[in-house]
Each structure stands twice: as C-alpha cells, then as structure tokens.
Structure 1
C-alpha cells in the first residue's frame, strides 16, 4: 500500500512516497514546472513505478482556515492530474510545512543555495508523514 505525496508550488513540485507498509515517508525528487508536458511525463513515470493506492496533495490553507488563490491553483493541478491518475486524490492541510522544511534544513546545516532546491521535497515528506501518522493513529483507535 504505497501512498504518494505532492507539495505543489508555483515553480516546483516536491514528491514523496511511503514505504510499502505505509509507516514512513521518503523524499523522491523535486520536479520543475517549466514545461507542462515534461512535468506530467515525469509524474506519469513516478505513478507507474510506485503504483500508489492514493495521492496526497498538500493544500495550502490560510491560518484562519480559509482557502486562498494558491489553494485554488493546487485544486486546478489536481484536476489535471486526474487525466493521468485514476486513483484516490486526498487533500491534506499543509500549513507551515515549507517553513518547517526550511527550519529542519537549517538545523541540519544545509546551505542556503541547497535549501531552495530541497525545500519542496522535504515539505512533501512532512505532508506525507503527517498523513501516514493520522492513518496509523486512526487504525489504533478503531
């Protein structure tokens, strides 16, 4: 049962995948959004390789709980993703994941130039791990 996570930004998309047991998230890569064809070709390859049960997409919710323009862009991207992926798509509140990703990398001694390249992938890992923890806690309760 693999789950894929995407952190969709204006310029890049961070990609993470769960282990087969659905316990841990690993960062895969960061995709550039320079060409739509190239982006969706890369996503198609990732989907074919990992065959995820579902895709979790980080939804940028405002601090007051409302959805802003960036959330609408993410939802539009998810609609386009449905052209190449027929499984379940789940939106997951990603508030502050990019901030947390940068903080983790600063604490880890990652240089500023490298942080920008890695932030989206690390944010995707944080989104996915949060979702996996939610699922696993739900199983324990039920």
Structure 2
C-alpha cells in the first residue's frame, strides 16, 4: 500500500514487499446512520447504537443521581467515590485563626468537641478550689451556721 503522507521503505529492507502504514486515512471507519459519529471498530458502533444514540441515559447513580450511557462509567464513578472515602481526609477547624487539624477514626468527633469547648467559645476561667472552699460553699448552701465534722 502506498501512502502519500509517508515515504516508502528502502528497496532492500525486510519490509519492501509489505508497507505498514499507520495513517488514519487507510483505516475503514464505521459511521452511525442516525447521528454521523464514526468509529474505528464495528463493535464500538454497535455499542453506540444500542446504548447511546438517541437513547436516554439508563444507568443512574444512587448517590448523586447522575446518569450514564454505560454501566462501566457508573462503576468508575463509584470507584472514584469509594477511593475518596478511603483517603485520610483530616477534619479541619473552620475558624481562620485556628486551622487545627484532627486525624484518625474519630476525627469528626474530636473536631466537634474542639468547636464546642475550645475554639469559638469564650474562654472560661477555671478556679482551683481546695477542700476548705468547698466546705464553706456547702455550709452556705445548706444554711447551717456550724458544721461539725466527725
């Protein structure tokens, strides 16, 4: 086969009797009669006619309700979603000044506790009370003037 885009091989080469051309102009193309799309392989044209051409997308994702022409594309989307879930995405504090990150299997719980108790709330002052302060508070609370300790 002679191609106008590629020169022929040398006369004394092993391939002098057969000329391999990778030019797309020599390959037969199979085109769809309805839409005009062309395919290299007849099987791809048949797949196009059965699943894609003029047919509503029949494979629906249960997560995001996105539609696909082929089941293989839906499976690829599911695998990408599962891969995203498997990644160790750290939970990060949304407050600009903090930006603390939490990792591990209970990262969401730790972030929630961080937001409720540490970040974004007014810092409370903790007093250290000794046993005498506790006893005085109890006596005042009970309204007892004198308390005898046994």
Q: So what's the TM-score if we normalise by structure 2? A: 0.19
Higher strand content, 1 or 2: 1
- The structure whose RCO (Cα within 8 Å, separation 6+) is larger is 1
Bigger share in helix = 1
Q: What TM-score comes out, normalization by structure 1 length? A: 0.20
Say which one has the larger Rg. Answer: 2
